[in-house]
Amino acid sequence: MGQTITEKIFSAHAGRDVYAGEIVRVDIDMIIGNDITTPISIRAFEQSGAASLARPNNFCIVMDHYIPAKDIASANQAKISREFAYKHDMKYFFDEKDMGIEHALLPEKGLVIAGDVIIGADSHTCTHGALGAFSTGMGSTDLAFGMITGGNWFKVPESIKVELVGKPAKHIYGKDIILELIRLIGVDGALYQALEFTGDAITHLGMSDRFSICNMAIEAGAKSGIIAVDDVTMKYFEERRVANGGLRDELKIYHSDKDANYTQTITIDVANLSPVIAYPFLPSNGKSIEQAVADDLRIDQVMIGSCTNGRIEDLRIAAEIMKGHRVARHTRMIVTPATQKILLQAQHEGLIDILIEAGAVVSNPTCGACLGGYMGILGDNERCVATTNRNFVGRMGARSSEIYLANSAVAAASAIAGKIVDPR
């Protein structure tokens, strides 16, 4: 019987053929913690009596939510992770000196690779499936179990095949594709399943688009999102190998069998897709850009960044549109590069100059604005266009505020117009 890529990854880790629905105990290749969720894991780790990490080089902590600290509480929260990292002499501890948003930083560092089983105490850990890995979010106590034992229990998920066909037109990106899928199936349409993205359109998508697609798999209720390794992925890995002096481990490349079992197949013709805007208050509330333009939606803030769309490609898209223009008088624009390396690259390319001259504020890498923590809180009844992943009630600030999820081109063009516009 044929297997999906997800079943093959679990089979390799279990040492035998396994299929969807089976419960297996496997070692974890990379456990990812951050400054918000890891302190809970540390407390559970210490209460267990464990003296050392089971697999110290398979655990990392990335300080990315409230760094630099916004207040005393967040400073003390960060202190817990710092002290633990120093105590255990952690190899992979990323603080202010080498900071970035975890789901952009780890791929950049070559620390998550094809064939891995990856967990993180953050729901958007599914981002790393873009590299041909099984990657999923779990709770902080699940993370602690992994820290103590080096592994965890998993129910092998069933898979949905998402067939992407055609070549995306100008200003159609991975963000539009995943928002369209979530619009079609809803926020629980893939509950505890793996979304496997296939089809000829994949060849036209760069890694930035692929990361965006897998990042938001959780917004359809999925356990993971995954894209098989191809030439684009291999080029990305080779660039990481050269930049970092190697990858964390050898690549383990799997592809689904032709007779693999899927619960359903969904086809999206990306060639005929318009930019998709997710209206409040769910990522599934997708509308076409044409509808958004007709609704004449004045905006107070634009936010470009996050683990979904804070990569160098996003900054290039925004700068190309913003060059020679200014942000509308009644609108604010915040740009958050996802890592320090991305920020430096944007500086070298002159993108930061263009964005600041246009009236944008460029911040350090942080999840702060996306989760309504700091660096871009919305006030009462304010409206924001964001390249982030969630637009729930109160997600970025006041409960009466509204978030419209969009790609980076829509966000940049809308900042200039002061209302949602079509960038094409």
112-135 per-position pLDDT tens digit: 999 999 999 999 999 999 999 999
Identify whether 424 is part of a domain: no
Task: Please indicate, yes or no, whether residues 87 and 233 belong to a single structural domain of this protein.
Answer: yes
> What is the amino acid identity at position 338?
A
Q: Is the pLDDT of residue 342 over 90?
A: yes
Q: Does residue 370 share a domain with residue 230?
A: no
Confirm if 306 and 333 have CB atoms less than 8 A apart.
no
Q: Tell me if 295 sits within 8 A of 324, measured CB to CB.
A: no
Same domain, 351 and 212: no
Q: Is the predicted pLDDT of residue 92 greater than 90, yes or no? A: yes
Q: Are residues 306 and 378 in the same domain?
A: yes
Contact between 271 and 172 under an 8 Å Cβ cutoff? The reply is: no
- Look at residues 147, 180, 150 and name the one whose alpha carbon lies nearest to residue 162: 180
DSSP code of 220? Answer: G
Q: Within a domain: residue 218?
A: yes
Confirm if 118 and 29 have CB atoms less than 8 A apart. Answer: yes
Task: Give per-residue pLDDT as tens, 383-420.
Answer: 999 999 999 999 999 999 999 999 999 999 999 999 99
| CATH code (residue 109) | 3.30.499.10
Question: Which of 106, 418, 420 has the alpha carbon at shortest distance from 244?
Answer: 106
pLDDT at residue 47, as a whole number: 95
Start-to-end C-alpha separation, the chain: 46
Are the CB atoms for 206 and 232 separated by under 8 Å? yes
User: Which domain does 303 fall in, by range?
Assistant: 276-417
CA pair distance 341, 98, nearest whole angstrom:
9
In 299-351, the DSSP E strands lie at: 301-304, 332-335
In sequence order, the 6+-apart residues with CB closer than 8 A to the CB of 241 are 110, 247
User: At what angle are helices 408-417 and 312-322 packed, to 10 degrees?
Assistant: 30
Is the domain of 307 the same as that of 334?
A: yes
Among 240, 267, 294, the domain-final residue is: 267
Q: Is residue 107 part of a domain?
A: yes
Residue 111 lies in a domain: yes
Do 242 and 293 belong together in one domain? no
What is the pLDDT confidence band of residue 71, given thresholds at 50, 70 and 90? very high
| 240 shares its domain with 351 | no
Domain boundary among 247, 267, 287: 267
Instruction: Mark whether 68 and 194 lie in a shared domain.
Output: yes
Q: Check: CB of residue 127 under 8 Å from CB of residue 162.
A: no
Confidence of residue 60 (pLDDT cuts 50, 70, 90): very high
* Kind plus residue range of the DSSP H or E element containing 264: strand 264-269
- According to DSSP H, which parts of 3-130 are helical? 5-14, 38-47, 72-87, 102-109
Mean pLDDT of 74-88: 96
Domains: count for the chain: 2
In a domain, 422, yes or no: no
What's the pTM? 0.95
Peptide bond into 281 cis (omega under 30): yes
Considering the domain architecture, whether residues 249 and 281 belong to the same structural domain is answered as no
Residue with token string 């710092």:
82
Q: What is the spatial distance between Cα 312 and Cα 289, in angstroms, rounded to a whole number?
A: 24
Rounded-to-integer distance, Cα 291 and Cα 293, Å: 5
The DSSP letter of residue 27 is E
230 domain residue, yes or no = yes
Question: Measured in whole angstroms, how far is the alpha carbon of residue 241 from the centre of its chain?
Answer: 21
Q: Could you read off the pLDDT of 153-205 as tens digits, one per residue?
A: 999 999 999 999 999 999 999 999 999 999 999 999 999 999 999 999 999 99
Sole residue written with tokens 């978030």: 403
- CA distance readout (Å), 48 to 74, 85, 302: 25, 18, 45
HSE-up of residue 164 (Cα within 13 Å, Cβ side): 26
What single letter denotes the amino acid at residue 379? G
Q: What is the pLDDT of residues 266-309, one digit of tens each?
A: 999 999 999 999 999 999 999 999 999 999 999 999 999 999 99
Spatial contact of 157 and 192, defined as CB atoms under 8 Å apart: yes
Q: Which residue has the tokens 């990522």?
A: 283
Asked whether residue 220 falls in the same domain as residue 307, the answer is: no
**CA separation for the pair 146, 148 (Å, rounded):** 5
In a domain, 157, yes or no: yes
Same domain, 107 and 253: yes
Residues 13 and 55 in one domain: yes
Q: Are 161 and 264 in contact (CB under 8 A)?
A: yes
pLDDT value at residue 312: 97
Could you say which of 236, 267, 298 is where a domain stops?
A: 267
Confidence of residue 1 (pLDDT cuts 50, 70, 90): confident
Establish if 375 belongs to a structural domain. Answer: yes
* Model confidence pLDDT, tens digit, residues 225-253: 999 999 999 999 999 999 999 899 899 99
